[in-house]
A and B are shown apart, each in its own frame.
Chain A
Amino acid sequence: MILEIRNLTKLYGATTAARDVSLSLEKGEFFCLLGPSGCGKSTILRMIAGFERPDSGQILLNGVPITDLPPYRRDVNTVFQNYALFPNMNVHRNISYGLRIKGIAQMELRTRVEEAIAMVGLGGLEERMPAQLSGGQQQRVALARALVNRPAVLLLDEPMSALDKKIAEQTRTELVELQKRIGITFVFVTHNQTEALAMAHRVAVMKAGVIEQCDEPRGIYERPATRFVAEFIGSMNFFDGTVVATDPDGCTLHVTGDTSVRLQKPSDVTAGDDVVFMIRPERLKMSLVGPQEYENSINGIIRESVYMGETTVYRIELRPGNTVTVHVQNYLPGMTEGFYEPGEEVHLMWSKTSGGVIRA
């Protein structure tokens, strides 16, 4: 365990930035703190970096408490959201800053800076001033400036939020590869779920200073532990329901009144529980033909269709006041126009292994 956070709490007046947050990070892990703005994810990062002091709790780096150490005594480095490059220093001097502070000898300093510059692909830009760099290049300088110190943990505070979409996507892949190659533990803060799912080994979803769920990306997406996580990551349809029966394979529910739904998946509910059944829009199949016996099904009327290019999004009314969203892949050009029309009655079907329940 390289980084351990124990019962960290931090309040700003009436606002809770962190409440009883505990985390353990393994060496070489790519860890992501995900949440909406104001959920406290940046505060946790700042407490690890040493810019904020927790009201209570402890932070241990390699088993040593660092909670009370100033930022310059911690073996962690930060990539700031706005990069915070020193405007009066060129790329080389920005990157070598940490090494110069530590008094590393010229020879070693030069090798390590060259290494870092090559690592992020900034060769040839050593003499440029930060103001002469593009956003993507500035981000690389910030990354190199932190990594050149070979910290035990690298903290990244929304490092891609200032980049435009294409560059951010490209950077995403590069960052994952870089992290794998150098093996330094990354703590990555973002509000962008795609970034979190695509990059991290583990994701902690935060809301109002509390970690709602901490799991691998697949677990977060497939088995959201709370309604907040289910809604925040991707999109989700919710049905109020009751558990009718449970058996070793799963359970049977009644949703939206009397529609019977079979869920072939272990869950900790018992008969009679009020639950919420959740299913992702892309797991629903829309058809004019009725269901197979291995499928759950419910009927509804198309109320709205929105063409999105790769998919068409339909809003289906199951009964007045109860609608679900379905994503249909446009795998036939003909399906995008005049195939399903508003007002038409359709079957919605899904596999008995799809979906999940949480207690209401």
Chain B
Amino acid sequence: MRSRLKIREFHVLLFPPLFWLIVFFAVPLLIVLIYSVSYRGTYGGVIPGFTLEHYRHLFDPLYVRVFGRSVLIATINTVLTLTLSYPIAYYMAFATTRVKSVMMFLIILPFWTNFMIRMYSIVTLIGDNGWLNNLFVATGLISRPLHIMNTLIAVFIGFVYWNLPFMVLPIFASLDRMDATLLEASMDLGASRFRTFLNITLPQSLPGVFAGIVFTFVPTMGNFVIPEILGGPNNIMIGNIITDAFTQARNWPFGSAISATLIFVVMVFVVLYLRYIEPVQGTPAAVR
């Protein structure tokens, strides 16, 4: 056991990050909230005051529809990413140390390249005149190029690609931590490999799955680059409305109101989710 003295000393170490959080997270959040109830300047800018007109404006069916679409896209994307990530994480957790580190390297590799560059390279890959279409046409697999760009499919390709590491890593972490003798114990007690997976492996990996879902769903809800670059004008999400409000319409209070609402809704989602859906985790098995 650590002594009380030591724990108190550790508190001091919390001040810099706390300061950081307050200055760069809490204060801007407060500014957003204040802007969202302020008046809009005629030529952009914000005029101090109090009004709820921007929030009222939000209930315009156009915005409600975009918001609903965003939730739907983020949900489908989360399901797709989870489906693809789980087998990867599973394979990785039970692979040899060597394979494990190679896979870890491959998963982290994309982070070495700028996000925008990666998105534009997807364009060169899936565009009408992109590598994939050229290859398929050249090999006679298809006669005319497939229109993937500026469709929902392109948006999902982008999102799944972007989110994959954030889903794989937490699932891998929880599977890797698992005591492999638990699987032997399950089989020893008569459970086949599949039932052992359902009864033992899956429950053990759920904390990772849940973390991955949050890491995937939340950033996807707010992302505006992927729908813009890959989805084109017909596939905008709530993030695009926010950027447009700030940049094109120069309506900062309205942009702030959408942002505040988005933050609030996501927060409610996450809190409900953590409270009711995430399984109660006991302390890890005292296996010694």
Contacts and interface: CB of A to CB of B under 8 A. Distances in A.
Given A101-B189, A145-B189, A86 B184 contact: no
Contacts of B187: 50-51, 70-72
A88 interface: yes
A72 B185 contact: no
Contacts of B191: 72, 97, 101
A80 interface: yes
A76 B184 CA distance: 13
B282 A77 contact: no
A83 interface: yes
Interface in B271-288: 279, 282-288
Given A72-B188, A97-B186, A145-B189, 11 more contacts: A51-B188, A71-B188, A72-B187, A78-B188, A83-B287, A84-B184, A85-B185, A85-B287, A86-B186, A88-B203, A131-B284
Nearest to B184: A51
Nearest to B204: A88
A112 B81 CA distance: 44
Categorize the interface residue count of chain A: 20 to 34
6 contacts: A71-B188, A72-B191, A82-B181, A86-B182, A88-B282, A101-B195
Contact of B185 (A70, A76, A80, A149): A80
B179 interface: yes
Given A86-B182, A101-B195, A149 B189 contact: yes
Nearest to B195: A101
B209 to A, nearest CB: 14
A49 B181 CA distance: 13
A162 B288 contact: yes
Interface string B145-174: 000000000000000000000000000000
Max chain B C-beta neighbours (<10 A), residue from A76, A80, A138, A162: A80
Contacts of B184: 49, 51, 71, 78, 80, 84
B287 A84 contact: yes
B203 A102 contact: no
A98 interface: yes
A248 interface: no
B198 to A, nearest CB: 11
A84 B184 CA distance: 9
A87 interface: yes
B51 interface: no
B192 interface: yes
Nearest 4 interchain pairs by C-beta = A87-B285, A98-B189, A84-B185, A84-B181
Contact of B282 (A129, A146, A162): A129
Contact of A49 (B179, B188, B190): B188
A133 B286 CA distance: 9
Contacts, number: 86
Contact of B189 (A77, A87, A129): A77
Interface string B200-212: 1001100000000
A251 B187 CA distance: 56
Nearest to A73: B190
Interface residues of B, number: 25
Nearest to A96: B189
Contacts of B286: 130-131, 133, 138
A82 B287 contact: yes
Max chain B C-beta neighbours (<10 A), residue from A83, A86, A131: A86
Interface string A82-106: 1111111000000001100110000
A146 B185 CA distance: 9
Nearest to B182: A84
A78 B189 CA distance: 8
B227 to A, nearest CB: 39
B185 A86 contact: yes
A130 B284 CA distance: 9
Nearest to A85: B285
A54 to B, nearest CB: 17
Interface in A31-85: 49-51, 70-72, 76-78, 80, 82-85
Contacts of A130: 285-286
B279 to A, nearest CB: 8
B13 to A, nearest CB: 29
Max chain A C-beta neighbours (<10 A), residue from B187, B190, B279, B284: B190
Contacts of B287: 82-85, 87
Contacts of A84: 179, 181-182, 184-185, 287
Contacts of A98: 189-190
Contacts of B179: 82, 84
Max chain B C-beta neighbours (<10 A), residue from A84, A98, A131, A145: A84
B190 A102 contact: yes
A77 B284 CA distance: 24
A89 to B, nearest CB: 9
Contacts of A78: 184-185, 188
B188 A77 contact: yes
Contacts of A85: 185, 285, 287
A138 B288 CA distance: 9
A98 B285 CA distance: 19
Contacts of A87: 182, 204, 282, 284-285, 287
Contacts of A71: 184, 187-188
Nearest to A74: B188
A281 B188 CA distance: 44
Contacts of B283: 131
A49 B288 CA distance: 21
Nearest to A97: B189
Contacts of B195: 101
Contacts of A51: 184, 187-188
A280 to B, nearest CB: 35
A49 B191 CA distance: 13
A239 to B, nearest CB: 44
